Amino acid sequence: MLDLLRCVNPHEDTWLVASLKAISNRFVIDGVLGCPVCHAEYAVRRGIADFRRDGELLPQPQPGTAPTPRNREELATRVGAFLNATEPGATLVVGGAWGNAAQELSVMTETRVLVLNPAKEVDESETVGLLRVSGEIPLAPGSALGVAIDAGFPPQIISAAMKAVRPGGRILGPTSMSPPAGAAILARDDRYWVAEKPAEMIPLRRANSSD
């Protein structure tokens, strides 16, 4: 999953360079991810890559705003359906409480799942990666099939989600945040909305006619 990660500072898109200090069973336990453009560094500690800027605190969950299914399998089923996760091998991003079912979601949909600000009980695996963030999503533009966010994030996370998903991808967000501008609203209730990023428009050129 390292190939998908990007610097959160505004500049041209480029891969990060990894300096690994400890690896266990192919998992990065400790190390540093460095940006070759702006020279920012992001620490990896206990398997979690920290993409917060200096001084940024972790967003705090809002009481009563987390999804409340009866078990993780139900939560995985819900978020998988919301994001239309029907493409094996695709990348999904889930933030906050949605991340509690990351492993079940990955197995159920055969996808890679990146969890933003995971709870202590959420573990890394071959198909689940863990990230700490504030208002940015450190992914290559258009690399995610879908992003699910709860109300424990700042509103700018929605713009970051719009950038991270590919055309035709979906974003699931709480009603306390506005859906991204330009996205089509597919569903909405009193707690969440589901939006779809517009498909790319390919300009057509009229062929030159010869006499």
Task: Give the pLDDT confidence score for residue 66 in this predicted structure.
Answer: 58
- Residue spans of the domains in the chain: they are 55-196
pLDDT per residue over 52-63, tens digit each?
877 565 666 555
Which CATH class name applies to 55-196? alpha beta
The pLDDT of residue 112 is above 90? yes
Residue 120's contacts (CB-CB under 8 Å, 6 or more residues apart) are: none
CB 23 within 8 A of CB 104: no
pTM of the entire structure? 0.87
pLDDT per residue over 133-178, tens digit each?
988 999 999 999 999 999 889 999 999 999 999 999 999 999 999 9
pLDDT per residue over 166-210, tens digit each?
999 999 999 999 999 999 999 999 999 999 999 875 555 665 555
Residue 129 pairs in a beta bridge with 114
Q: What stretches of the chain show up as alpha helix (H) in DSSP?
A: 72-82, 102-109, 157-164
Per DSSP, the chain holds a count of helices (H) and strands (E) of 3, 11
The pLDDT of residue 64 is above 60? no
| Cα(152)–Cα(50) distance, integer angstroms | 17
| Cα(156)–Cα(140) distance, integer angstroms | 17
- N- to C-terminal Cα separation, the chain: 55
Task: Give the pLDDT confidence score for residue 159 in this predicted structure.
Answer: 95
CB 172 within 8 A of CB 80: no
Mean pLDDT on 14-31: 80
